[in-house]
Structures are given as structure tokens and as C-alpha cells.
Amino acid sequence: MLVINNLHAKIDNKPILTGLDLVVPTGEIHAIMGPNGAGKSTLSYVLSGRAGYEVTAGTATLDGQDLLALPPNERAALGLFLAFQYPVELPGVGNANFLRTALNAQLRARGEAELDALQFLKRARAEMKRLAMPDDMLKRNVNVGFSGGEKKRNEVLQMALLKPRLAILDETDSGLDIDALRIVADGVNAQRGPDFSALVITHYQRVLEYIVPDRVHVLASGRIIRSGGPELAFELERDGYAQVIANAA
């Protein structure tokens, strides 16, 4: 379970998160929607531990463990996964090697047995088949020369292999056509279960037709200003952020 309490964060001395409260129970998928500049990406980076963000107040825990005190890799080992809005290219780093190194680092951190090359390949190929990814994507360098859709699918592949307890999808829908969106959504839905939760950060309601959330939260000026069921996404789509924010004020 993710519990965020009164979270304040700054970047370059500019306050971005201004007292954010949020609870995502294990097994649920929540959506965070908000206009540009509301703090959506900042929230995902503060939770995953990117440098450059200063947390000035508040707490964030995953299954009772303090996230904010840990380096990013230890947060990942606890089961936190960030699907990047702009997945990073790593020239010279093979995708298979990268994925196995990451998976084994997490297994090691949790005291579980690591996978050898063969065991890993078997598992990776099975997940790739589900995501309709060609085999050669394992041989290529991480995200290098991938189309926008391939990059997002590679994020979902990583999620499927790392099996996080909480996945944060940071505008994973941006730049995807309908077919790719469907594949990505299927990948997320395949993880659904009592041990998996997700925070779907998005601008648009469209992705939520494919990944139906248990709850929808509206983020504006660094705080959650309204929460509701899936129908809240449709209200935002119909009335626009400005209207919903004005009504909440």
C-alpha cells in the first residue's frame, strides 16, 4: 500500500508539491489526472527518488517502508516501478543484459535466487510474446532506435519482468496510437491482482477506457483537490480541468 502524507517538494527552490495526500491500497489501480504544471511528473520522480527534488515536509511509504530515505535502486527493490514518460536510450547497453542485470539486482536485494541467462531468456521471451514484441528487441541496445510505441512497450516489458508491487505510469499513453495503447493497457491489466497496485498518471481520459481505475484523483497546484470513482475522468473530459478546479475551490 502506498501512503503519501502531506508531501511538500521543491525543485530549484520552487514549490511544486504543496501538501499532497494520497492512499493507494494494494490491489487497486488509481489514476492521477491534472493540467500541465500541476506536479504530476514531480510526484512520480519524488516517489522514485530522482536527484534534484527537495522534499521539505511529509512522508511517503510503500507497505510501511519509508521510501524517501532510500536511494532509487532500493525503492525499486521494495517493489516500486516507474514507467517513464520519455524512456531513456542507452547506447552500447544490450536490452537483454540490462533487463537481467536489473532483475537480478532486485532478486539479490530481496534475498531471492538470481536467474541465469537461460532462465532469464525463457521468462523474457514469454512476456514478449504477450506484448507482441519481436524477439530482436532483446538484442538491440536499450531503447536505441525504438519508435515511441516500442519504447513504451519496452517499459511495460520491464514492468512485467520486474513484477512490482506498485507501478507508476507517467503519461505512458502519450504518443501512442490506439493499437499500441491497447497493447500497453493489456500489459498493465495482466499485472492486476491482489499484490499489484498502480498509479496511472495521465492528461487524458482515453487511457482510462483501457485501464479502468478504481479511483481517480485530480492534481492541481501540487495537491489532490478532488477524488472520485472512474466517472470523475469522464467529468474532467466533459467539463475541462479549469471548470473542475474552479468547482473544487
Q: Which is it for strands 223-228 and 53-62: parallel, antiparallel or unpaired?
A: unpaired
Question: What contacts 64, CB < 8 A, 6 or more positions away?
Answer: 1
Among 41, 85, 106, 191, binds another protein (CB under 8 A): 106
DSSP run (H or E) holding 180: helix 178-191
**Residue type present at position 142:** V
Q: In the block, which residue shows the cell 525463457?
A: 122
For another protein, how many residues bind (rule: CB under 8 A)? 27
Among 3, 77, 121, 225, binds another protein (CB under 8 A): 77
Q: Is 71 in the site for another protein (CB under 8 A)?
A: yes
Among 11, 68, 98, 121, binds another protein (CB under 8 A): 98
Could you tell me which stretch among 11-19, 29-37, 82-90, 113-121 binds another protein (CB under 8 A)? 82-90
Where do the DSSP E strands lie in 101-170?
Answer: 141-142, 166-170
Q: In the block, which residue shows the cell 500541476?
A: 38
Q: How far is the CB of 104 from another protein (least distance, A)?
A: 9
Q: Is 53 in the site for another protein (CB under 8 A)?
A: no
Q: Is 109 in the site for another protein (CB under 8 A)?
A: yes
Could you tell me which stretch among 54-62, 102-110, 178-186, 223-231 binds another protein (CB under 8 A)? 102-110
**DSSP letter string, 36-102:** TTSSHHHHHHHHHT-TTEEEEEEEEEETTEESTTS-HHHHHHHTEEEE-SSPPPEEEEEHHHHHHHH
Q: Is 117 in the site for another protein (CB under 8 A)?
A: no
Q: Is 87 in the site for another protein (CB under 8 A)?
A: yes
Range 223-238 burial, b when 16+ CB lie within 10 A, else e: bbbbeeebebbebbee
Q: Is 133 in the site for another protein (CB under 8 A)?
A: no
Q: Which is nearer to another protein, 76 or 128 (CB)?
A: 76
- Residues 162-181 close enough to bind another protein by CB under 8 A: 162
Of 115, 94, 226, 205, which Cα lies nearest the Cα of 163? 115
Which residues of the chain form contacts with another protein (CB under 8 A)? 48-51, 71-73, 76-77, 81-82, 84, 87-88, 90-93, 98, 101-103, 105-106, 109, 158, 162
